[in-house]
Structure 1
């Protein structure tokens, strides 16, 4: 169950990051509430995951999901570059997170 919590934490981290961008574009309450809700839920699920997973593994996977997910959301929704090098390095981050899961 701790890996499910960790994946949820990463997904909520992505939500928080996307809402930072949204808040910069349109200053509204919905973006602000989703920003705090996303990061709050992210930390909650990270804390739950860390009850069973080592801190280093949990943190690395959490940041990997958040960083790569944020970059992917930027490419899909915000017109950020989609060049092969960028996609390759995002894949490396995700591959590292999967590798940590396999050895934990």
Structure 2
């Protein structure tokens, strides 16, 4: 169950990062509210998952899901560039998350 909570927390991190971008510096109210709700939910679920997962593992997987997810959302929805170097960097983050999961 802790892993499910952690994955959902990571997905909410993607939501709040995208909403932060869409808020245009907190000048748009709806994206700002989505961002705050996403942050609150993400932190809450992360804290619940940390009841049984090690701190380092939980935090690394949470930030990794958020980082790679935001990278993918940027490419798919914001027209950000997908270069070989950026793709390799994202793959390395995923490899680190998988390695951390297998080690715990």
TM-score range, shorter chain: over 0.9
TM-score norm. by structure 1 comes to: 0.94
Deviation at residue 26 of structure 1 after TM alignment: 8.6
Q: Structure 1 regions of 5+ residues with no counterpart?
A: none
Match of 1:30 in 2: 30
Q: Distance in 2 between matches of 1:64 and 1:87?
A: 14
Stretches of structure 2 lacking an aligned partner (at least 5 in a row): none
Distance (whole Å) between structure 2 residues aligned to residue 73 and residue 27 of structure 1: 21
Give the structure 1 partner of residue 46 of structure 2: 46
Decide whether the 8 Å contact of 2:26 with 2:32 is kept in 1.
no
Deviations 1:41-69 (A, max 9, x none): 10011001000001111111111111111
Q: Does the 8 A contact of 2:14 with 2:69 survive in 1?
A: yes
- TM-superposed CA distance for 1:29, in Å, is 2.1
Corresponding position of 1:79: 79
Normalised by the length of structure 2, the TM-score is 0.94
- What do you get for the CA RMSD once the two structures are aligned? 1.4
Q: Residues 1-104 of structure 1: matches in 2 within 5 Å?
A: 1-24=1-24, 27-104=27-104
CA distance 1:28–1:95, change in 2 (3 Å): same
SS of residue matched to 1:24 = coil
Moved more, 43-52 or 88-97: 88-97
